[in-house]
Amino acid sequence: MRSVEEHQRVVDELIAARPAATTGLAEAEHLVLADNVAATVSLPVFDNSAMDGYAVRAADIVGATAESPVTLPVAEDIPAGRTDIPTLEAGTAHRIMTGAPMPPGATAVVPVEATDGRTDVVTIREAADEGRHIRRAGEDVAAGTTVLRAGQVVTPAAVGLAAALGLHELPVIPRQRVLVISTGSELVSPGSPLQPGQIYESNSIMLAAAVRDAGADVVATPAVSDDVAQFAAVLDRYAAEADLIITSGGVSAGAYEVVKDAFGRDGDQGVDFVKVAMQPGMPQGTGRVAGTPIITLPGNPVSALVSFEVFIRPALRAAMGLPDAHRPRRSAVLTEALTSPRGKRQFRRGVFDPGAGTVTSWGPPASHHLRWFASANCLLDISEDVEQIAAGSELRIWDLR
Ligand code: AMP
Ligand code: MG
């Protein structure tokens, strides 16, 4: 049997980064920059007022106080966006708004609160030092400066800065595009009535959610019956649009294992079927379909999602350059005694209490108990060589929060 680490390496090698591309700002959020970004303009672009008030020469209002105010004629009105920028003559004031361009000749702004606010002649009750309330061109960013770096995740502030610099695109590592195929003749879409023997199909919506949560895109989520022709038709239809194909079901040891049947059980048709020493998630497969990587997950919902967490999520995130490919690993004190199968790495669902530093196993280990996973917040990571764990032991957990 293959170890979890060995299979992780196989999956890591299978999933490759897409070539860098430029993308619109709105699509760039959460992606990783493929290149440094330099400012093409300065910020602020021009000297402008930091306050609503009056642009003046500081020398004209020296000594102004409430008791001995200075009165100046208001020669111009400069709202934000005015593009014909007048010059301030000595002995006059211009009414000016926040963000409006400073008139040449002005050396300070007096806030409206320190005046009577009139528009013909203004009475000023406060002196100002030179430069007061002026935002200088380039004091935030000088043109030519590298403002964003390759490898950084695009955040709201980063797209805001790019837009402020007049950029409408960013160079990014594109999202991986993932095709999610569910297999099983027993599966019925949620919302339709069930016949005896049928169950609701839950893996495609669940794995698609996990793909998006990992930061990747979902191409489509078709579900097929255990019919090789149907399965092949879905691959034909979608595989070329995907960077990765994930299937669930049809890889166990029984009959009607559509994924195994489609690729040949002896691994001669592009997919290797292997057993990984883990619980849940032992039957796994990896390979390529017409060049596109494919990972075949077991069908039990808990196995499928645990397998995604252990193998696919970190590889997808690494291929997108995301800095935190792995879930945070923590150590927690186990609240009860547990057993684990010898020779298999067990990933139980758990509830981690960060305040107490404890973890409680959540639900039975068998892989059809999805209900417990839905209220778990971590995976317990129990080594192959451990069979008994006493209450109070320190245990490694993967923090899913
Ligand atoms: P398989 O790996 O195809 O043998 O499936 C193992 C178990 O998982 C069976 O009980 C299936 O009914 C169940 N299963 C497989 N695929 C899905 C799915 N997409 N949604 C819900 N249950 C599934
Ligand atoms: Mg099946």
SS3 assignment for 251-285? CCCCCCCHHHHHHCCCCCCCEEEEEECEECCCEEE
Q: Is 240 in contact with 267 (CB distance < 8 Å)?
A: no
Ligand 1 centroid vs 284 CA: distance in angstroms? 14
What pLDDT, on a 0 to 100 scale, did the predictor assign at position 269? 81
Residue nearest to atom 7 of ligand 1 (CA): 300
> Which of the four pLDDT bands, split at 50, 70 and 90, describes residue 322?
very high
The three-state secondary structure class of 88 is coil
Give the nearest ligand 1 atom to 203 CA: 19
Q: What is the pLDDT of residue 367?
A: 86
Which option is the CATH number for 21-43+139-173: 3.40.50.720, 3.90.245.10, 3.90.105.10, 3.30.1330.40? 3.90.105.10
How confident is the model at residue 267, as a pLDDT?
A: 67
pLDDT band at 319 (very low <50, low <70, confident <90, very high): very high
What pLDDT digit, counting tens, does each position of 143-189 carry?
999 999 999 999 999 999 999 999 999 999 999 999 999 999 999 99
The CA 122 to ligand 1 mean position distance, Å, reads 79
Distance 12 CA to ligand 2 centre (A): 26
| CB 105 within 8 Å of CB 87 | yes
186 CB less than 6 Å from ligand 1?
yes
Q: What is the CA(369)–ligand 1 centre distance, in A?
A: 12
Q: Tell me the pLDDT tens digit for each residue of 17-34.
A: 999 999 999 999 999 999
Range(s) for CATH 3.90.105.10 in the chain? 21-43+139-173
CA–CA dist 93, 259 (Å, integer): 80
In this prediction, residue 360 carries a pLDDT of 98
Which residues of the chain does CATH 2.170.190.11 include? 48-135
**Ligand with an atom nearest the CA of residue 185:** 2
Cβ count within 10 A of residue 288: 13
- Answer for the pair 286, 272: CB distance below 8 angstroms, yes or no: yes
Q: Of all helices (H) and strands (E), which one includes residue 39?
A: none
What CATH superfamily is the domain 329-399? Answer: MoeA, C-terminal, domain IV (2.40.340.10)
> Judging by DSSP bridges, how do beta strands 146-148 and 37-38 pair with one another?
antiparallel
Q: Is the CB of 163 under 6 A from ligand 1?
A: no
202 lines ligand 1 (CB under 6 A): yes
* Smallest CA separation from ligand 1 atom 3, residue: 249
pLDDT for 264 equals 86
pLDDT in tens, 67-115: 999 999 999 999 999 999 999 999 999 999 999 999 999 999 999 999 9
Superfamily of domain 4-18+175-320 in the CATH hierarchy: MoaB/Mog-like domain (3.40.980.10)
**Distance (Å) from CA 298 to ligand 2 centroid:** 8
Q: Considering the chain, what is the average pLDDT of its residues? A: 97
- In whole angstroms, what is the distance from residue 248 CA to residue 223 CA? 10
Residues of the chain with CATH 3.40.980.10: 4-18+175-320
pTM of the predicted model as reported, rounded to 2 decimal places = 0.92
Q: At residue 220, what are phi and psi to the nearest 5 degrees?
A: -170, 165
Cβ count near 313 (within 10 Å): 21
- Å from CA of 21 to ligand 1 middle: 38
| In the predicted structure, residue 323 carries a pLDDT above the cut 70 | yes
Is there an atom of ligand 1 within 6 Å of 250 CB? Answer: yes
The answer to whether the beta carbons of residues 311 and 13 sit under 8 Å apart is: no
Domain 48-135 listed as CATH 2.60.40.3880:
no
Measure Cα distances from 371 to 336, 375, 376 in Å.
21, 7, 9
Ligand 1 neighbour 182 (Cβ under 6 A): yes
Rounded CA gap, 266 and 254, in Å?
15
Alpha helices by DSSP H, listed for 46-167, are 156-164
* Residue nearest atom 8 of ligand 1, based on CA coordinates: 300
